[in-house]
Structure 1
Amino acid sequence: MDYSKEYAEKLISAKEAASMVKSNDWVDYAWAAQTPVAIDRELAKRVEELENVKLRGGVLLAVPEIFKADPNGDTFIWNAWHAGGPDRGRINTTDGAFYIPLRYSELPKYYRQNCEVDIAFIQVPPMDQHGYFNFGLNASHLMAVCEVAKKIVVEVNENMPRALGGFETEIHISKIDGIVEGDNQGLPELASGSFGDVDRKVGELIVNELSDRSCLQLGIGAMPNAVGSLIAESDLKDLGVHTEMYVDAFVDLYNAGKITGAYKNVDRFRQTYAFAAGSKKLYDFIDNNPQCMAAPVDYTNDARIISKIDNFVSINNAVNVDLWGQVSSESSGMKHISGAGGQLDFVLGSYLAENGKSFICLSSKFYNKKSGKEESRITLNFEPGSAITVARPNTNYIVTEYGIFNCKGRSTWERAEGIINLAAPEFRDDLIKDAEKANIWRKSNR
């Protein structure tokens, strides 16, 4: 069937798309690299004529024009499911941006049951011959957004990869209210980040815990990147991938011959992911690649699905860990950093899997610019306002450059001793005193 006539009928300018937005609307701005560009530019021009426009999005890889036009967030109120750099800056410096707490696996259900969407703007690759627009790098939750949106406008970018392999990855032109042919500019990239000696040491400790046929989930950041680099240099083989975020490290591992997926219990031979963000190398790798399986996040992050995959390994970062084994990964005091994401989903699912392991990794200390000195990331109490991402019953392995400790099955005094041993040596005596005051230290420990 020829859809060219319907395409032409629904073709509108970016200005016309932006004109659909009314004051007090809820507007969805998609996610990561699929945030609209041409429509965003036109919507920013309406800053003086609109009020209380509430937008949802997340993992911004570039500063949108609406932020520049409305630096204090007086008109455009940003609501982020997860913070990238631009989201973080907006949340921490204005009263016009906020974080929406979530378990990432629940995001599609949030939309279907709890969220109002007046209009959704989504950047997509060109329509295929069957009249479908692929959701590109973000199967994640975009089908759920479209199901509840009163109006849907897609912004076509010829440089957007077409992601294959899963389900809830396309929307038909018959469901679309408007089509904007965008600027066809290159996609914003996310640097994988360099890693130092501490990251490498943590990576070495984790790689020593892996085995052939492990199935990997890697979070974002230097330490997971270090793990990926070290795996590429190792003798490990026949690895699998099942992750929420597809990052450059997986491309490197595949090119090094480490990833086959041949022994995955679920989605054999496929690299399964909910969304992707990284370099052009990653985008080119995903494009029309049948071994990469895009799927909604309520599938990729479902602990019940993860638990079916033998030898599952989850590797994620943390900001701080306390002596009880609680993990804070999304804020430092009142300062927002990222979000809960899928960390808890994978901590739960990996532990339930046969021979599964979950690693929370962090450096033992950091330099605090405010105090002008180094401080421990391992602490008795988090700074007030810090969010607890993983509760103490759920924590499996904690890793710093000083070692690995398995919290499972350990009492509070055993945890105190094991976690203190992961701290930088200069902080350990003070942490012991803190543990004594908290009644989680035995004199026989040292």
Structure 2
Amino acid sequence: MSVYEEYKKKLVSADEAVKLVKDGDWVDYSQTCTFPKALDAALAKRKGEVKDVKIRSAISMQPIQVVEQDPEQESFTFNVWHCSGLDRKYVDQGKAFYTPMLFRYNGSYYTKGYAPVNVAMLTVAPMDKNGNFNFGLTNCCMQEIVDAADHIILEVNETMPIIYGLEGDHINIKDVDYVVENNDPVGTAPAGDPGEIDRQIANQIFPYLYDGITLQIGIGGMPNALGGLIAESDLKDLGMHTELISDGYLKLYQSGKLTNKKKPINTGKGVFSICNGSRELYDYMDHNFDIMSAPMSYVNNPGTIKALDHFVSINGCIKADLYGQVCSETVGTRHISGTGGQLDFATGALEAEHGQSFLAMPSSRVGKDGVRVSNIIPHFTGGDVITTPRTSVQYIATEYGCVNMQGVPTWERAERLISVAHPDFRDDLIKAAEEQKIWRASNKR
């Protein structure tokens, strides 16, 4: 039987394919752009017919029908490894649940049996002449998911770009149960314009950058602002090694700043594991030999990062306390995002001989009540989850400066952090530091 005959034999409707799901099953939707839109809608139709079906995904980019159509969780329970803005809304409403993880270990949860998969559903690019389907914009832990799955359903989508991978980048028709077709465009998350505070923070970090570094930058306004600064600068021969590629990198490629020529490993290749961006970014990545996907177990491994030598990691955070602890995933007990790869990259950057790790945030925020509060606080007590421990934090940046937390005692940490806090809160923070016995009489005020 040819691969095309096998494809035709396994091609069914989404409604037919989701009949594989039974009561009590764990269903995996993979992550980000590989979300199976048609299969999700078909499974949602089975509300009331099946019981206790648990779905697992991450960074949702479009409405999840098993959530939207079953808000009371009569049949389905939705779980996420990492929250997008949409996932955050679901968690806020009690319609979804977060699963703590480190991205570098995400695949191992499947291989070790901690995360069972009865049915895997994922979107892939169209089949090639050899019967292979490319995973496209999501490498992450796709191989571990399909290896763990009892059944596999592919949702074939011609709008999924083909991305060449180090490993774990495809699956063959012989290894799947069913194929469905759906050409609705894969999800996008175009970058918004950076705000003034984003640009000010980016300006604090920019002087630390130099020719030949390898960059990992997170997602959001500040990374996009920094990407714009770099694109307009004289910096050259930069490299990319990132868990998530977003539109900030597109500017760097288009301006000729990203060549990857100076990387000591994966030379000439920009490496990523998942993607979240605009259609323009997806089109740029399609069949692009300069870009390579790789599993999260490789990309986020501190050993890999250490080998990059001149490595710079830049990520956002929510709060820091005067001890240098950083929270990047909750506000009190309210869940916002997830641990993701922040600690992975902070660890790897510290191990690299010339590595630098930056955690960036606005110094303050204005709440819904119109009251300004500081994002640098005396100490964490209100249920905030510590994402990066103080021992792993290097630079903390706000619009007022960038300070190094490595190798300094508690009083100096407090002094440095207060120097980049919003001026309205500095006196109160000094008083708190005095009460907490982490302030010297000779400290700068």
TM-score band w.r.t. shorter chain: over 0.9
Letter in 1 for 2:103: Y
* Equivalent-residue separation in structure 1 for 2:6 and 2:31 (angstroms): 27
Structure 1, unpaired ranges of 5+: none
* 8 A contact 1:332–1:383 mirrored in 2: no
Describe how 1:263-412 pairs up with structure 2 within 5 A: 263-369=262-368, 371-382=369-380, 384-412=382-410
**Runs of 4+ off more than 6 Å:** none
Under a length normalisation based on structure 1, what TM-score does the superposition of the two structures give? 0.98
Instruction: Show the counterpart of 1:427.
Output: 425
Aligned amino acid, residue 175 of structure 1? D
SS of residue in 1 equivalent to 2:313: strand
In the alignment, which residue of structure 2 is the partner of 1:60? 60
Q: Tell me by how many angstroms 1:252 deviates.
A: 1.0
| CA deviation profile, 1:403-444 (whole Å, cap 9, x unmatched) | 111000011110000001110011000001111111111111
State how far apart, in whole Å, the 2-side matches of 1:295 and 1:132 are.
Answer: 17
Matched, 1:19 2:16: no
Q: CA deviation at 1:322?
A: 0.6
The residue aligned with 1:127 is 127
- Which aligned pairs between 1:94-109 and structure 2 lie closer than 5 A? 94=94, 96-109=95-108
What secondary structure, in the 3-state scheme, does the structure 2 residue paired with 1:179 have? strand
Alignment of structure 1 residues 172-191 onto 2, 5 Å: 172-182=172-182, 184-191=183-190
Aligned-pair distance for 1:92?
1.2
Deviations 1:153-176 (A, max 9, x none): 000001111111321111111111
Identity %: 43
- Name the SS of the counterpart of 2:442 in structure 1: helix
- Among 416, 419, 437, the residue aligned to 1:418: 416
The CA deviation at 1:19 is 1.5
Distance 1:298 1:148 in 2: 16
Cα distance, 1:226 vs structure 2: 1.0
Aligned partners of 1:280 and 1:188: how far apart in 2? Answer: 9
User: In the alignment, residue 3 of structure 2 is paired with which amino acid?
Assistant: Y
Q: TM-score, normalised by structure 2?
A: 0.98
User: In the TM superposition, what is the alpha-carbon distance from 1:352 to its structure 2 partner?
Assistant: 1.2
SS of the aligned residue for 1:54 comes to strand
Verify the 8 A CA contact 1:165 1:291 in the aligned structure 2: no
> Which residue matches 1:85?
85
Counterpart CA distance in 1 for 2:245 and 2:72 is: 33
Count residues with an aligned counterpart.
443
> Residues 79 and 97 of structure 2 are in contact (CA less than 8 Å); yes or no, is this contact kept in structure 1?
yes
Opposite residue 227 of structure 1, the aligned amino acid is L
Deviation of 1:383 (Å): 5.0
Q: Which runs of 5+ in 2 are unaligned?
A: none
Would the aligned equivalents of 1:25 and 1:52 in 2 still touch at CA under 8 Å?
yes
Contact 1:32/1:58 (CA < 8 Å) preserved in 2?
yes
Q: Contact (CA 8 Å) 1:124, 1:155: kept in 2 or not?
A: yes
| Residue in 2 that maps onto 1:39 | 39
Distance 2:381 2:248 in 1: 33
* Deviation at residue 2 of structure 1 after TM alignment: 3.4
Paired residues of 1:165 and 1:290 also in contact (CA < 8 A): no
Paired AA for residue 50 in structure 1: V
2:30 paired residue number: 30
Distance 1:111 1:7 in 2: 27
* Cα separation, 2, equivalents of 1:2 and 1:25: 32
Superposed CA RMSD: 1.1
Match of 1:73 in 2: 73
Q: Which moved more, 1:132-141 or 1:375-384?
A: 375-384
Q: Is the Cα contact below 8 Å between 2:323 and 2:379 reproduced in 1?
A: no
Q: How many angstroms does 1:395 deviate by?
A: 0.3
Report the Cα distance in structure 2 between the residues aligned to 1:260 and 1:383, rounded to whole angstroms. Answer: 45
The DSSP-based 3-state class of the residue aligned with 2:380 is: coil
Preserved CA contact (<8 Å) 2:66 2:78: no
What letter corresponds to residue 126 of structure 1 in structure 2? P
Partner amino acid for 1:377?
N
